[in-house]
Chain A
Amino acid sequence: MLQLRPKPISQQADLLTVDSLRVSFGRGIDEKTVVRSISFSLRPGQCLAIVGESGSGKSVTARALIGLAGRHANVHARQLSLDGTDLMGLSDRAWRRIRGNEIGFVLQDALVSLDPLRRIGKEIGEGLRLHRAVSSREELAQRVIALLKLVGVPDPETKAEQLPHQLSGGQRQRALIASALALDPRILIADEPTTALDVTAQAHVLSLLEETKTRGKGLILISHDLAVVSRVADEILVMRGGEVVERGNPVQIFRDPGHPYTKQLLDAVPSGRPRGSRLSPSTIVRSPARQTQPAVQSPPNSRPILLEATSLVKRFKGPDGTLRPAVDGVSFELRSGETLGVVGESGSGKSTMARMVLALDEPDEGAVRFAGRPWTTLAERERRARRRLISLIYQDPLSSFDPRWTVERIISDSLSSDVETPRKRQERVIELLDMVGLSQALLDRRPLELSGGQRQRVAIARAIAPNPAVIVCDEPVSALDVSIQAQVLDLLGYLKDHLGVSYLFISHDLSVVRHISDRIMVMRRGSIVDSGATDEIFRNPQSEYTKSLIAAMPQLVRDHQIGHSATILEEGIA
């Protein structure tokens, strides 16, 4: 029998010790090492952050710590021990006693990390039942409610009976954390716990994690975003290609990054940089062949108005059958060569607004005019000729591509039919690839064979292919790592300067919007609560909501203060 509990925990003793952890997949010549020789230790009340891009081996490391690296994984370590108990070569049964009980694990994106067909309460109670921590049904229900209260989910009795998709993103993530905290484990591992969340929800989850830490738990936080971990972490490991390239406390790392890669990651954080400056070091391949006239450098207010929306209203039927406005009286104008950023949480109506601008949905009231002529009020047949002038970039390019099409076909499909011969079309596609910094070697690739960054670049090439005047970007960088996000933002900035296109840039991430936009519009519950020039919004936000968004922006905490814990949890969050 394993005896884990009785050992007294002194404040200084290591809870978790990892020495030379190595993880590889496959055997023989196919063997691929994804984590090479990682060592660290974790004490109670301490937070260790592992930071790196996707593919750096950080998630595999986390999974190896609970013995779930995968069926084909070979895990080796000189030492891997939990409070003095060796974890190497543990039987599955013994592992199961540790998982949930001693180590809690929280994954990214609770929508898919909670079973979508099961009620929240059942999912949270699962660990309690598995480890026989409760003796009766009533006790189980009470514990579940208590856990939901602990993580700050409002109205826990109702939420416990609901399904994951009925909760907001932040509530879901907190419910997932509650399920990991159910058995009061000594260690909590959180893999990208805030990536899919908007800023306010992100701030709440971080506070929750911080509070868990101050309750004496060991916390391992895994993220691609240095700004996210900077508030909570006591020690940071920067991983790249399966190796730790830099380690240290946040103050050291932020003040004086030793490794160029760390510096690159720091630079990629938009909130840490002057607005509009380059975020990524790699230079975009610039095509001398196509130097379209640079954007007219006239004062913004004298440029012609491209899009003009007046009092847009769109209502949808709610669950009780009544009509609810998703967009409620939104007016704005977008001038030529300008970027208008639209910020709001999920459900604020920003995507619905975008669909009306694209004339995919018809507004219930109000109208959009495009280039001085009617747009939404036209019949589809009359709009079609001008449709190519408004392009769209989605959050997830993969689902917007036909997986069987090659890159060439995807981009070529959007070219105007004026480009007639196949040869000219191909030349144009290569030119477009060049403009977005991709090599023509990718012409024959299919979407699944591309990296996330390459996919978004192909999506951008497709969007600029028909020479649009306006590009609607709906969360174009939300699914990307910070460093890739930085490259894509730089690319969008470059294209704007050289093609003179206008962007309607929609994002939940205020720091991204701030970086790229000339003007910002803050949306909440279908209405605009703030709008104005970017600097003006940040200097002098009008609404309380905008103020709270700005306050919730993850900043690189350069002067690291331990115990700078927010009291959001006690305040109770809506």
Chain B
Amino acid sequence: MMLILTTRNDAVKIVAHRPIVWFARRILSGVAVVWAAATFAFLIQCVLPGDRAQIIINVTSGNVGAASSAELAAINAKYGFDQPLAVQYGKYILRILHGDLGESYQQHRPVAGIIAEQIGPTIVLAIAGLLIAWIIAILTTLFIAGRDNIWSKLLNDMQVFLATVPPYWLATILLVVFAVKLRIFPVIGGNSPIGLVLPTLALALELSGFFGQVVQNEFTRVLEQPFVTSARARGMSDFGVRLRHVLRHAALPGITLSGWALGKLLSGAILIEVVFARQGLGGVLVAATSSRDVPIVSGAVLISAGLFAVVSVIVDLTYRVVDPRIKLR
């Protein structure tokens, strides 16, 4: 959140006359974010309680007993744990630069490969969630917001409810009602489009509550602006003004939120995937976390940071398209 807001200010100042400089700076700051995430992941591995060699032996063998010192020394030598911390860190960063995120303790396969196999469905789910959340928020706002009737009030209450309900709870309810009772959607959908419906809804409804509240607040504020009256005085219909003038203004804070939302969606998607038994990063991560398969977890952290940096650039570019004042200021 903080990251998006501060970089946005940078955008306002820098975009002014040199878009290339602005872009270069954004790439650099994105790299810095990923680097910080990598460092963080590394430090976590070091300060985690328990001896790492011991953990690896336990994970591999499935035993919980203490390993002999000979075994430990072998593992320490293999993974380089016996070297000074600075050397370990340097090697770690160097490996990341070569696209090597380490090897899973449990599966003995490269982490990059494991994540690459699983991340596709997760990203699809997260983006679908974002789109649906936007569509729900925009449609309800366009038709209902700022009107003085019972629907407007109900919508508002509904949004607050959705925004506060935990998504896994919502997911369970959706699953029970639409899949088990009504049998409209499959309980386990795999990766088919029809199987995407319920998980997407479970993710999107919560977010649509958030977006809806932000967009609706701005929408009702903008509805009172003089240029709205101006447009109506030209003969534009109420709905025309909402669609062509007000929505654009109201979308701005929502766009700012989208960067944060995609981060939230990725973590939300992981939970939802477990609930719906979907293929994706979720299952892998849950398994890796419970067995303390650290390379997979820190690999996921790195990838998320990278995605987040990319998304925030996209968000800023979108913002510039919707609000041309920024580009020209």
Contact string, B26-51, partner A, CB cutoff 8 A, digits 1/0? Answer: 00000000000000000000000000
B229 touches A68 (CB 8 A): yes
Residues of A within 8 A of B148 (CB): 71-72
| A114: chain B residues within 8 A (beta carbon) | 227, 230
Residues of A within 8 A of B322 (CB): 117
Asked if residues A66 and B17 are in contact (CB atoms below 8 Å), the reply is no
For A8, the chain B residues whose CB sits under 8 A away are none
**B98 on the A face (CB < 8 A):** no
Question: Could you say which residues of chain A place their CB within 8 Å of the CB of B234?
Answer: 99-100, 105, 126-127, 130, 179-180, 182
Q: Is the CB of B17 within 8 A of A96?
A: no
Cβ of B225 < 8 Å from any Cβ of A?
yes
Are A108 and B226 within 8 A (Cβ)? yes
- Least CB distance from A113 to B in Å reads 4
**CB-CB under 8 A for A97 and B235, given A113-B227, A319-B17, A320-B17:** yes
Q: Is the CB of B226 within 8 A of A112?
A: yes
Shortest beta-carbon distance from B253 to chain A in Å: 14
Contacts of A99 in B (CB 8 A): 232-235
Given A163-B328, A321-B17, A117:B231 Cβ within 8 A = no
Query: B interface, by DSSP: helix, strand, loop or mixed?
Result: helix
A154 within 8 A of B: no
Are A107 and B226 in contact (CB-based, < 8 A)? yes
Interface size class of A (residues with CB under 8 A): 35 or more
Q: Are B231 and A126 in contact (CB under 8 A)?
A: yes
- Complex CA gap A140/B227 in Å reads 21
Task: Report whether A131 and B235 are in contact in the complex, using a CB–CB cutoff of 8 Å.
Answer: yes
Instruction: Verify if A372 is at the interface (C-beta below 8 Å from B).
Output: no
B323 within 8 A of A: yes
Any A CB within 8 A of the CB of B62: no
- Given the contacts A115-B245, A117-B322, A163-B328, A130 and B226 also touching, CB distance less than 8 Å: no
Contact residues in A for B238 (Cβ distance below 8 Å): 92
Determine whether the beta carbon of B230 is less than 8 Å from that of A113. yes
Neighbour of B226 across the interface among A104, A113, A165, CB < 8 A: A113
| Interface residues on chain B, size class | 20 to 34
Complex CA gap A539/B4 in Å reads: 58
- B323 near A117 (CB under 8 angstroms)? yes
**How far apart are the CA atoms of A165 and B325 in the complex, in Å?**
8
Q: How far is the CA of A395 from the CA of B131 in the complex (A)?
A: 44
Docked pose: A320 CA to B16 CA in angstroms? 9
Q: Which residues of A contact B248 (CB under 8 A)?
A: 117
Tell me if A115 and B227 are in contact (CB < 8 A). yes
Q: B229 — which chain A residues lie within 8 A by C-beta?
A: 63, 68, 105, 107, 113
Q: A341 CA to B75 CA in the complex, in Å?
A: 83
Contact flags (1/0) for A94-135 with B, using CB distance below 8 Å?
001111110111011100111111110000001100110000
A114 to B234, CA, bound (A): 12
Point out the residues of chain B lying under 8 angstroms from A98, CB to CB: 235
Shortest C-beta distance, A514 to chain B (Å), equals: 31
| A166 interface residue (CB < 8 Å to B) | yes
Which of A117, A127, A130, A320 sits near B324, CB closer than 8 Å? Answer: A117
A115 to B222, CA, bound (A): 10
Query: What chain B residues lie within 8 Å of A163 (beta carbons)?
Result: 324-325, 328
Point out the residues of chain B lying under 8 angstroms from A118, CB to CB: 245
Interface residue? A471 (CB, 8 A):
no
A: residues with CB less than 8 A from B are 63, 66, 68, 71-72, 92, 96-101, 103-105, 107-109, 112-119, 126-127, 130-131, 163, 165-166, 176, 179-180, 182, 319-321
Taking A99-B235, A104-B233 as known contacts, 11 extra A-B pairs with beta carbons closer than 8 A to each other, sorted by chain A number, are A63-B229, A66-B233, A92-B238, A96-B235, A105-B233, A107-B226, A107-B229, A117-B324, A130-B236, A130-B240, A163-B324
Can you spell out 27 A-B residue pairs with CB atoms less than 8 angstroms apart?
A: A63-B229, A68-B229, A68-B233, A72-B148, A92-B237, A96-B236, A96-B237, A99-B234, A101-B235, A105-B230, A107-B233, A109-B226, A113-B226, A113-B230, A114-B230, A115-B227, A115-B231, A116-B227, A117-B324, A117-B325, A118-B245, A127-B235, A130-B234, A130-B235, A165-B325, A179-B230, A319-B17
